[in-house]
Every structure is written in C-alpha cells, then in structure tokens.
Amino acid sequence: MTTIRIGSISLDCADPLALASFWADVLDGEIAFTSDDFVAVKLDGSWLSAVRVDGYLAPTWPTGDRPKQMHLDLAVGELESAVHRVVTLGAVPTPTQPAPDRYRVMLDPAGHPFCLTTQIPE
C-alpha cells in the first residue's frame, strides 16, 4: 500500500523571500532554496514554500470579498507569548477575534490568516 503524506504547504504571495523568512522564523525552520519566484522552508518533518503570483491580492477575512483558500492552525503552549512572538516577526492580529481565550486569528505578512491555539492536543 502506498503511503501518502503532506510534502509541502505552499502559500501564494507577492514576495516569496519575505513570506518564507517570516514562516521560517515563526516555525524555527530553515530556508533551504530560493529563487525569484519560489522559496522553500525546511521544517521538522515537512516543508513550507512561498510562491510568487503576479497580481497577488491578500484574502479579506472575515468579509469574504476575496475569501481565504486555506489557513494554518498552529498549536502553542501559551497564547499571549505566542501572539507576542509572531507580532514581533511581522504578523498582525485581525480585528475580529471569535474566541480570543482559545485561539487568536493573525495575518502573516502576505495577508494569509492563521490561528494560534492552545486547543490542539499533542
């Protein structure tokens, strides 16, 4: 039987190096490959890539004018310190926070929403 696993999560953006650098810092990854249009970040057991898309427009969450296509849920041990860390790296909290005691919705530098949460078990 063939095993299928996630090889990489790719995020569209206007500036691949800036976005990949942000995620490498957030996830303690390492930039392993760069070109003008693609940057790969090696993580512990997986990869994340940032891909240049001409005319890229960020999602407009939560209004949905330009809906998000996906988002990442990142498990954290302590919510406030995780929020502080990603903000210092360039993330922005969204004005809408549906359950701020359980998770925080953030935007990466390219406008992709992601959540920091203490609600994901080990």
Residue 7 lies in a domain: yes
**Given this model, what pLDDT does residue 122 score?**
67
Residue 81: strand, helix, or coil: helix
- Separation between Cα atoms, residue 121 and residue 37, nearest integer Å: 36
Residue 44 sits in the same domain as residue 81: no
Res. 17: pLDDT tops 70: yes
**Given this model, what pLDDT does residue 45 score?**
85
pTM of the complete model: 0.84
User: Which range, of 21-30, 58-67, 104-113, averages the lowest pLDDT?
Assistant: 58-67
Residue 4 sits in the same domain as residue 48: yes
Residue 60 lies in a domain: no
Query: CB burial class (10 A; 0-12, 13-18, 19+) of residue 26?
Result: buried
Q: Identify any residues that bridge with 113 across adjacent strands, giving them in sequence order.
A: 107
Number of structural domains (the chain) is 2
**Given this model, what pLDDT does residue 4 score?**
59
User: How does pLDDT run across 32-87, given as a tens digit for each residue?
Assistant: 999 999 999 999 988 999 999 999 999 998 887 888 887 898 999 999 999 999 99
93 against 7, higher pLDDT: 93
Residue 45: give the domain boundaries.
Answer: 1-54
Q: What is the mean pLDDT of residues 96-116?
A: 94
Residue 32 sits in the same domain as residue 4: yes
We report the CATH number of the domain holding residue 82 as 3.10.180.10
Residue 24 structure tokens: 């490498």
